[in-house]
Amino acid sequence: MPAKNEDFPWKPHYGHFNFFEERMRQHRSIKRLNSLRDGLYEIEKMNGDTLRIFICECYSYGVAEYIETKDIHGEIDDVVINSLWCEYTMEAKHFCFDESALMKRWGSSL
């Protein structure tokens, strides 16, 4: 799937993320779930931490899709691929690990 496609953020097959939302609302560590827009969620955990989660059904979620997601939604803490037949690439996984390590070391000044 190319970056900057016209269908960002790759609308879900069924038009919703009900399964994800139901499971998050039932999870004992989740205090609040808030759908912000276009597959972006804010989750407040019982311990007070807040996470920004992007959920999509992109057939192959790679580095370009991750960068596009951040360009549109800003910083995110996690990407959830909402499908059994879709996945992220190993390059995206390593890119995010490297980026996370840099952020821990250098902070938001990057």
Residue 1 has pLDDT above 50, yes or no: no
CB burial of 63-86 (b: ≥16 within 10 Å; e: otherwise) equals: bebbebbeeebeebeebbbbeeeb
Domains contained in the chain, number = 1
State the pTM of this model: 0.77
Residue 33 lies in a domain: yes
> Which amino acid is located at 39 in the chain?
G
The proportion of the chain whose per-residue pLDDT surpasses 90, expressed as a percent, equals 30
Domain enclosing residue 99, as ranges: 18-109
34 within domain boundaries: yes
In a domain, 6, yes or no: no
Structure tokens at 105: 């070391």
User: Is 93 a domain residue?
Assistant: yes
Query: Residue 13 domain-assigned?
Result: no
Residue 11, in any domain of the structure: no
Per-residue pLDDT of 68-80, as tens digits, reads: 888 989 988 988 8
